Structure 1
């Protein structure tokens, strides 16, 4: 007699073992994340087999560990198939979300002294500093390289650090890097040295010894693409497909509002005030700002929400098109977006010699250039360089009307 999981999935017999009561909720969990019927059926069958195996081995639910899926696949008579490992990984993730099993514990690989310091610093950034995950990912390798550079013998003693160690490391590293990456290195190093002083590992202010990377104003040409290139890209997207409809709205928001990629992917349904024609954006450090919602951007987002957005409980405006159906996992997740272009659109872009998809930073910079150009038009400037002169800020003049800072510090 068959045991029905739902209207489309059935097992030859009721599930057994410690995970048996979670099989049906697991199927619902997969459906909520947009997995197709075939994938859901395979994952449910795998979960049922794994649960039965756990029961035969006498393994309780609370004792399930990361090693058990691999042991189960080795014990099975069937030849392993593509997706088996992923199915069991999804099952364990579901069980953790239900607090049925313990959170994954990273194996102790006897980390080196350098790695121990890196991990302690990472915990500090995550817990005390509350820094974004992307920032921590950028800082971590810099600190690791610095400690390996200074303590190559493996014995790490931060008290032995001197200013010359800092300057030698920076000079060696930044000579081969572009401006942006060089500034990440110096910023990360200052952060780590300030952290080490805070812990008492060093007594002097070595963060002040980190050289400053020169960054001359107006020394480089903006990376933004031209207005005509943006127009050609938007006209080339196939908006008749759900993915194209989404990508058009995202790219238009980037190009028209000058948003960061993180601000676009983190946009939620409640952030759009349709009645007031405004959009609420969460920027860096959680700072919120209200921007006017241009009519064409609003129409593009509404078109996506009405016609193409998958039915999903997520409050994010823009969702992934592949399972699991959810919001993008981070700003770097936007890099996986590859706009669906019409055949005519691909030919048009190729004919013009433009890359099919500019970087997301290029689209943000395109908005900057457009705004500078519009300001120049109002002021009657013939060249962008003239407008840039008036965009400079007189800091000394601004200090005059500024209110005094409370306390002694200025």
Structure 2
């Protein structure tokens, strides 16, 4: 009988949530508080009440809800509003139901599905990561990556660190070059050198073993920097729709990238208190936790101010830029790159790359062509070494052809 009823949610009765009604009301209140629109909240409300009705007809207790029960719900066919009988429940509808079930799990009403635990790191690797965190000034993303790379090498190196030799270390790295790209292995050698230096300082392995890590050949700065022209940059910025909050945000982000040569991470890390409106400056916390105060150009400042006044969601967060849709989380680096990519597509601009660094390279290129010195560009881009800035000196190919010397032996 349960199986018959399970597929017979009729249009008049399917939206009665039964015992789940109070939880559905609390769920929708939470969604509203997070800033979701009324239309979105009503969609989640309908999905949650639909689940409650189906549970009664299928004679499934609320406490027994698990992935298998949700799969049964997804396969059932009914006449509920918004459900196409010939296709059943849509994937979007099921995602809403799963979010409601997660809400119930957070309140202990249903059993929460145990998440697969991440593989545990070796104790010494965890200590190494703490050392990086305290003394090296690198980001959590880099600390996590170094830890994973060292863990990948440990099985080949063996458990006894005091028995590691220079030959063993070289053999392990050379074996990795056959399984991964040279760029990946180069980063891996950086992590391993740091780990060996950490162990050696504590007497846990032979001192100086970090010098045994082979150097992976890679010609730095050999290619020309990727950039677009000043006119294309302005066209890209002009594609933003200022009538929408997302458009106001995107224009402010693009202007900061294009005028100051910020990295995606710099934009993500901006806080409300890092902008000094009186002095028209912005404090950027870049690599190595170094803070630099940069002048805020007029158009970029106006764009950020317009976003803060008209486009930024009312959320209790101190990050400058937030997602346009609820829940209002801070932007991620990939989101900043996607803003650039979408603007390039809207403007029909053919670019060699489509990430946030494209505008950083374009800013450096424009400054050099405008007469700025390498020292000035290095200051704005916050390079530690002038050699990195000299990379942009190769952009004027015609001028380089004029000063290039003939190859010895040419007729």
Q: Does TM-score exceed 0.5, indicating one fold?
A: yes
Give the 3-state SS of the residue equivalent to 1:310 in structure 2: coil
Match of 1:138 in 2: 145
Structure-2 separation of matches of 1:127 and 1:88: 40
Structure-1 separation of matches of 2:249 and 2:271: 14
CA, structure 1 residues 45+229, in 2 after alignment: closer, same or farther (shift >3 Å)? Answer: closer
Structure-1 separation of matches of 2:354 and 2:277: 30
Normalising by structure 1, we get a TM-score of: 0.65
Match of 1:401 in 2: none
Structure-1 separation of matches of 2:325 and 2:16: 31
Give the 3-state SS of the residue equivalent to 2:170 in structure 1: helix
C-alpha distance after superposition, 1:149-204 (max 9, x if no partner): 556xxxx5545432223223434546998886454222122233345557876344
Give the 3-state SS of the residue equivalent to 1:375 in structure 2: coil
CA, structure 1 residues 188+29, in 2 after alignment: closer, same or farther (shift >3 Å)? Answer: farther
**Distance apart, 1:209 and its partner CA:** 1.9
Match of 1:335 in 2: 337
Contact 1:233 1:357 in 2 (8 A): no
Normalising by structure 2, we get a TM-score of: 0.65
Match of 2:298 in 1: 295
**5+ residue gaps in structure 1?**
1-10, 380-387, 393-410
Contact 2:233 2:258 in 1 (8 A): yes
Give the 3-state SS of the residue equivalent to 2:67 in structure 1: helix
Match of 1:406 in 2: none
Q: Which of 88, 91, 94 in structure 2 is aligned with 1:82? A: 91
Match of 1:6 in 2: none
Contact 2:261 2:364 in 1 (8 A): yes
CA, structure 1 residues 128+104, in 2 after alignment: closer, same or farther (shift >3 Å)? Answer: farther
Is 1:358 aligned to residue 380 of structure 2? no
Structure-2 separation of matches of 1:278 and 1:243: 24
Is 1:375 aligned to residue 372 of structure 2? yes
- Within-5 A mapping of 1:117-132: 118=121, 120=123, 123-124=126-127, 129-130=132-133, 132=139
- Within-5 A mapping of 1:1-150: 16=19, 23-47=24-48, 57=61, 59=63, 68-74=65-71, 76=73, 78=76, 81-83=90-92, 86-87=95-96, 90-91=99-100, 106-107=115-116, 116=120, 118=121, 120=123, 123-124=126-127, 129-130=132-133, 132-147=139-154, 149-150=156-157
Number of aligned residue pairs: give it: 346
Give the 3-state SS of the residue equivalent to 1:359 in structure 2: coil
Structure-2 separation of matches of 1:253 and 1:362: 13
Match of 2:409 in 1: none
Structure-2 separation of matches of 1:29 and 1:122: 40
**Distance apart, 1:254 and its partner CA:** 0.9
**5+ residue gaps in structure 2?**
1-13, 78-88, 377-385, 391-411
C-alpha distance after superposition, 1:320-352 (max 9, x if no partner): 234433212x32343333435796x32xx3xxx
Match of 2:170 in 1: 167
Deviates more, 1:281-290 or 1:269-278: 281-290
Structure-2 separation of matches of 1:362 and 1:196: 39
Contact 2:274 2:283 in 1 (8 A): yes
Measured on the aligned residues, the alpha-carbon RMSD in Å equals: 4.5
Q: Which of 213, 216, 221 in structure 2 is aligned with 1:210? A: 213
